[in-house]
Structure 1
Amino acid sequence: MEKRVNFEVIIIGGSYAGLSAAMSLGRSLRAVLVIDSGWPCNLQTPHSQNFLTHDGHTPGQIAAEARRQLMKYDTIKFHHGLAVGASKTDQGFTVITQTGEIFSGQKLIFATGIKDVMPDIPGFSECWGITVIHCPYCHGYEFRNAKTAILANGAKAYHLASLINNLTDDLTLLTNGKVEFDFPAAEKLRANGISIIEKEVAEIVHEDGYVKEVVFMDGSREAFIAVYAALPFEQHSDIPAALGCDFTEHGYIYVDTMQKTTVEGVFACGDNAAMMRSVANAISSGNVTGAIVNKELVDEHF
């Protein structure tokens, strides 16, 4: 990239939300820098679904096409690297990367995403995003009518089961231990033909990420085609917290309806700030964020 270090807007995170925000701003002739480390959360996912015009494309294809389209805007610059810190200044913000580059911007957008926290189950991480999946809207149609498991417990398990029950008649809930929901919930699951296995999971046997069997601690095993899992997560970047941004009780960056965080001049979009985790939603929130940031710049200088 050229040697420019001062921008109107710095976007940390160059996946779908960040690129969408960059397009809104770049088309408004704003000087934009996108800093991206190249490690999206869905790196292992083979196909992206439920996204008009790109249904079935790989996540990499969608992101690559987005970057190709953005390259025609000379208002948008890219820096491949990891942002490790940011500080507020009288003019806006400075951002420092892992290799020591320093950039400044009037506004700061976090499109940094989240990191899934994998359980200590052999085979789980190798299958994550392929046949161990998180979202029936993103993956459910492709595994319709298949023998399916849900590896979850409590309210999350009940919620997933209610959605996935519409997609297959062969559904089993793996609680990985004693059930954590009340008697009426368990009875309702069973009334809908959903069996419950309370054994601890020892391993997921797979072939190149495609689930074959779930092995339990007692040595028994059960064959499945797909396994849904509700995982905890952590923020991909700790910079928003260091800047003083507030977070929701679920761990997302708190934003208002305009994608503004609780720190003036700082915005967030995509998976780091929304429970609805999908490519389409990330792009939508990024588009809105770019427009709102541009409007703020307009109001400050017009």
Structure 2
Amino acid sequence: MPPHTKTLTPDLVDVLIIGGGPAGLTSDVSITRNVHTAIRTAHFHMLPTWDGKSPIERMITGIFEVTDENGKVWKGRSLVLATGIIDVPLEIPGFDECWGRSIESSGILAINDVAPTPIALHVSCNAARFTKFVTIYTNGDTSKKDDFQAAIGPTAPFAIDGRRITKFVLGPNQLGIMIHFEDGTTKDEAFLGHKPVSKLKSDFLVKQLGLEITPQGDIKTNPPFGETSLTGCFAAGDNSSFLKTTPNAVNSGANSAARVAT
């Protein structure tokens, strides 16, 4: 039941849902179909008190309270955080301009989340479906070159490039990408694949609630329902999943609803 509904809002509902993306909406629909009352934020990827006001407190009685930006207090017996994540761009000039246009295929940027050998090779194999040859760029990290080479083998259409990258430039007509290296050389690629590091959109909520997080920075949850380290508080979607995909967010939203609706 969204806040803007014309019907009277009860003083206490069964579930409070923060987040209106795939996970939050799925959780909302699943809960209401089980004849439970739920209040969710009304807009996609929006958070109450975005301007930094105190958004949520855990009451001694076990009731969750969320204070929105207008000062209204919403109360619920359970809480679902479906607040999503924010992609963190690389600190390499030109990355923002190229992202979403020429980053995704015949070169692989194997740093941060893509640095582990199994993940880099998995992403490279996906890129190899679209191009005949894939270059794995480690951006100056030469320590992994032998590991990559041993895992690739002598016949795979992959190569390792350990040069440090200084900037990216879009190709002519905004097609393709030119990679500039620290040694002054450049290389053209049709596409460059990379998974950026992400951070929690709900970081301030996590801190206020004292929730545990994983080494990857996601909210730590217990399968299959996604309950956090705080009893009665659940997390769903990208903020608590290694796989940041819409189908997975929908599934986790349904799982959280299955638990809070019992």
TM bin (shorter chain): 0.7 to 0.9
Matched, 1:276 2:243: yes
Change (3 A) 1:182 1:30: same
The residue aligned with 2:211 is: 245
The residue aligned with 1:149 is: 107
1:234 alignment partner, SS class: strand
2:55 alignment partner, SS class: strand
**Number of residue pairs aligned between Structure 1 and Structure 2:** 244
**Gaps spanning 5+ residues in structure 2: where?**
none
The alignment's C-alpha RMSD in Å is 2.7
Change (3 A) 1:108 1:130: farther
Q: TM-score normalized by structure 2?
A: 0.81
98, 103, 109: which is aligned to 2:80? 109
Deviation at 1:224, TM superposition (A): 1.8
Matched, 1:260 2:227: yes
The residue aligned with 2:163 is: 199
Matched, 1:176 2:157: no
Paired with 1:230 and 1:127, the residues of 2 have a C-alpha distance of 14
Deviation at 1:182, TM superposition (A): 5.5
Q: Would you say the 8 A contact 2:20–2:45 is kept in 1?
A: no
Deviation at 1:16, TM superposition (A): 0.6
Change (3 A) 1:235 1:80: closer
Change (3 A) 1:84 1:194: farther
Moved over 6 A (4+): none
Q: Structure 1 stretch 19-28 or stretch 29-38: which is displaced more? A: 29-38
2:90 alignment partner, SS class: coil
Q: Would you say the 8 A contact 2:17–2:81 is kept in 1?
A: yes
Per-residue CA distance 1:105-133 (angstroms, 9 max, x = gap): 11100111112221112221233344424
Paired with 1:13 and 1:206, the residues of 2 have a C-alpha distance of 35
Q: Would you say the 8 A contact 1:36–1:80 is kept in 2?
A: no
186, 198, 215: which is aligned to 1:221? 186
Deviation at 1:17, TM superposition (A): 0.6
Per-residue CA distance 1:266-293 (angstroms, 9 max, x = gap): 0011111111221111111111211211
Paired with 2:44 and 2:66, the residues of 1 have a C-alpha distance of 17
**Gaps spanning 5+ residues in structure 1: where?**
41-78, 134-142, 296-302
160, 164, 167: which is aligned to 2:123? 160
19, 22, 27: which is aligned to 2:28? 22
Aligned partner of 2:146: which letter? F
Q: TM-score normalized by structure 1?
A: 0.71
Aligned partner of 2:25: which letter? L
Q: Structure 1 stretch 201-210 or stretch 275-284: which is displaced more? A: 201-210
40, 62, 66: which is aligned to 1:95? 66
Aligned partner of 1:168: which letter? T
Aligned partner of 1:203: which letter? K
Paired with 1:189 and 1:128, the residues of 2 have a C-alpha distance of 27
Paired with 1:84 and 1:189, the residues of 2 have a C-alpha distance of 51
Change (3 A) 1:36 1:275: farther
Aligned partner of 2:22: which letter? Y
Percent identity of paired positions between Structure 1 and Structure 2: 26
